[in-house]
Amino acid sequence: PEPLLEVKHLKKYYELKKGWFSPKQQVKAVDDVSFTVYRGETYGLVGESGCGKSTTGRAILRLQEANAGEIWFAGENVARLPYERMRRLRRRMQMVFQDPYASLNPKKTILQILTEPLRVHGLYSPDERVKKASEILKIVGLSDYHLHSYPHEFSGGQRQRIGIAKAVILQPDLIVADEPVSALDVSIQSQVINLLLQLQREFHLTYIFISHDLGVVRHITDRVGVMYLGKLVEQAQTEKLFQEPKHPYTQALLSAVPITHPDDTRERIILSGDVPSPLDPPQGCTFHPRCPACMEVCRTEKPPVVDLGEHIVACHLYV
């Protein structure tokens, strides 16, 4: 398979002040993350809230600037591209947000919302743009009768369909979808997931699918990366990861998913403690205070990244 996106040593650090007189502290929201996404696949990024998965997704599209690292897309290091070149490349990299309402201008009609990206990128004539908008609206399952309506006239699920239409109308290569169904009713979630899968086939899309919902991730992704406190701690093909998680954090995370299979005799692993503050992450392996398998070395030394054969894990247990 051909790589579409290569993220190398991505870092996003923030400076934070806790109080007026306290010194600045550094938050390592994304801390040296590397992964490759292949054309046509769905790559899942999972982990608890605050683990850095959204920041990673936003940094790839440069909606947030990374401090360091490389983002290779279509032969260019996107992280270094000047604004104008990035703007043109943006056509090929789109985002679908958790809350479509926040990304749809309430004062604009659906027609204006959908034709705007085409206009900005100088694509098609005005008449053709209207035609494209009406086509894409039908493709995402809404009638073009709705072209003159406003976002508030739609349900949450319909709004997400419009958010998806707005991303797909430019025929991008890559879509970063950040919790695209988390805000929707469960009954609507599967419809929107099926729409994403249908569009992927139809338009040869590649997805980065960011989610804390492991059931959805297992259903929709081809490979998964697991993040913990800004680091990628494990990565494998989805079924391999779900059947044989290697990292103790992944094992605990997956053990919390409700059991749906009768042969499944996993025991639930209860982690002690909360996710530590990223302002003051633990020494050594940042997971060590909660890890049931913690060894002496874990308290002081950062775990190396071990490749077990298309299965990557950052843990001292596999050295």
Q: Which of residues 260-319 bind ligand SF4 (CB under 6 A)?
A: 285, 287-288, 291, 293-295, 298, 303, 315-317
Pick between residue 141 and residue 282 the one whose CB is nearest to ligand SF4.
Answer: 282
The C-alpha atoms of residue 61 and residue 63 are separated, in whole angstroms, by: 5
Q: Which is nearer to ligand SF4, 197 or 305 (CB)?
A: 305
Shortest Cβ 208–ligand SF4 spacing (Å): 25
Which range touches Mg ion (CB under 5 A), out of 47-55, 154-162, 198-206, 296-304?
47-55
| Burial class of residue 288 in the structure, from the number of CB atoms within 10 Å of its CB (0-12 exposed, 13-18 middle, 19+ buried) | buried
Q: Where are the beta strands (DSSP E) in the chain?
A: 3-17, 24-38, 42-46, 68-73, 76-77, 93-96, 174-178, 206-210, 223-228, 231-237, 305-307, 312-314
- Determine the 3-state secondary structure of 26 from DSSP: strand
Per 3-state DSSP, what percentage of the chain is helix, strand, and coil (rounded to 5)? 40, 25, 40
**From ligand SF4, Mg ion, none, which one binds at residue 57 (CB under 5 to 8 Å depending on kind)?**
none
| DSSP letters spanning 184-223 | S-HHHHHHHHHHHHHHHHHHT-EEEEE-S-HHHHHHH-SE
3-state class (DSSP) for residue 123: coil
Complex with ligand SF4: residue 278 or 303, whichever CB lies closer: 303
Q: Quick one: 54 or 251, whose CB is closer to Mg ion?
A: 54
CA distance 131 to 217: 34
| Chosen from ligand SF4, Mg ion, none, partner binding at 54 (C-beta under 5 to 8 Å by type) | Mg ion
Question: Which of 57, 248, 278, 281 touches ligand SF4 (CB under 6 A)?
Answer: 248
Using Cβ positions, the residue closest to Mg ion within the complex turns out to be 54
Q: Which is nearer to Mg ion, 54 or 206 (CB)?
A: 54
Alpha-carbon distance of 165 to 203, in angstroms, equals 12
Residue 222 Cβ, how far from ligand SF4 at the closest point, in Å?
A: 25
The one among 27, 42, 44, 54 contacting Mg ion by CB under 5 A: 54
Nearer to ligand SF4, 50 or 282 (CB): 282
Interface positions with ligand SF4 (CB under 6 A) = 247-248, 285, 287-288, 291, 293-295, 298, 303, 315-317
Interface positions with Mg ion (CB under 5 A) = 54
